[in-house]
Amino acid sequence: MDFYQQLQHATANERATLFSAPLITAALAGQVTRQHYIQFLSRAYHHVKHTVPLLMACGARLPDRQEWLRSAVAHYIEEEIGHHEWILNDIAAAGGDAAAVRASAPDFDTDVMVAYAYDTVMRRNPIGFFGMVYVLEGTSVSLASNAAHVLQDVLELPPSAFSYLSSHGALDVEHIGDFEQLVNRLDTPADREAVLSHAKTFFRLYGNVFRSIEIEEVA
């Protein structure tokens, strides 16, 4: 197996645990409310707005031997700029208060995930950040487009309320293809282990973000 295949195999249990989060299973079954969706988008805003700063920090900390990877990071930055604004637009289109979300503090679990990402880049091996990329984009490819179609029908919201989910479902298919080629070029055990170990951690942290939205407690 190449490294990407090893990564998929080694994280299968963590991925399954994330996908079993009550919010995800309820969303795919069409059993969530508009408030659930707005809460999900609010959490997404508070981590997506850090994607570009984290990529910039990661690129700056890469050693000279990984100049090829710095170029890939630069390209990725160009594609990710402004995506947090898409989320605010979706919140407004779904009837939420986008200005309040922009001004709000993140919930605990989202804040912890973002903090761990910065810690990975600044204190550990910056290559480990690609473990988070794998988790977020792999989850998006698996769930985003399906969830967008189900939720649009159930919640009776316009397509303009699903720009983040719909666009990422398609865009991240391309990104995962690029990611596969990227991680297969990592040629040291330390870098590969950094991606693998951090992917396992980010599956857990991202799962906590979904689980922080209580199905029973949202009217």
Domains of the chain by range and CATH? 3-211 (1.20.910.10)
- Please check whether residue 165 is in contact with residue 145, taking contact to mean a CB–CB distance below 8 angstroms: yes
**Closest CA relative to residue 164, chosen from 18, 56, 29, 38:** 38
- pTM, whole model, 2 decimals? 0.93
Q: What are the tokens at 92?
A: 């407004």
Mean pLDDT of 40-68: 96
Share of the chain above pLDDT 90, in %: 79
Q: Quick one: tokens of 12?
A: 């299968």
Task: Return all residues near 208 (Cβ < 8 A) that are at least 6 apart.
Answer: 109, 112, 113
pLDDT of residue 194: 97
pLDDT band at 218 (very low <50, low <70, confident <90, very high): very low
Mean pLDDT over each residue of the chain, to the nearest integer: 92
pLDDT tens by residue, 196-206: 999 999 999 99
Helix axes 163-184, 83-93, angle to 10 degrees: 150
How many H-runs (helices) and E-runs (strands) does the chain carry? Answer: 12, 0
